Structure 1
Amino acid sequence: MLRKNRPEFAIGGEPLGKIRGHDRELYLDVERPYPPMLRIPPYPASLETRKEVEKHINELLDMDVIRKIGHNEIVEITTPVLITWHDGKSRLCGDFRALNNEQKLTGTLYQGYFMP
């Protein structure tokens, strides 16, 4: 399916990117200020890991998958996690366990996920 519809998923020579033409808004039922269980500080990381996370974030910004937030916006919902495979490649993920637990406690957890 991805190969058949590559123009919808890829930008230039990039393998995958933002899905164009299908905008989706993500709404949370959690009001600000966020509950203390969601305010998790970033995990400790080495300088090398921080550089790799920065590289992934810049790639996502360049592909218009994510956007920069303003200085007055506070986002404490997730902590970035870098997954590194044995071949040296890495993948940036978000740790949404606390958010999922909060949503389960309040009974508002939606079972369909639009983004891995």
Structure 2
Amino acid sequence: MYLTDRTLINTILHECHDSVAAGHLSKDRTLERVKTCSWWPNWKKDVAEYCQTCDRCQKSNRSTGKKFGIMIQIQEPKSPWEIVHMDWVTALPPGGDKS
């Protein structure tokens, strides 16, 4: 089915991605579902954008940020003050009268 009505396109996207039957599928699986029932100009771009802006998917999918490093064992000091470690806290707001 060739679509031009934006409201109908949004309904198709909803039904193919976040309806109870769809269950918030990935972008690729949503593309497959849309492809079986309809077509419109730039439909692949619209599906990708719809999936990327889905609040529920963004909150529940694993993080795509920087991975944590591997923990390593630190050397045990042989005497006091041999190893000193400091944590720096920066960019704190001014304390005002209560600092």
Alignment TM class, shorter chain as reference? under 0.3
Q: TM-score, normalised by structure 2?
A: 0.22
Q: TM-score, normalised by structure 1?
A: 0.20
Q: Which has the larger radius of gyration?
A: 2
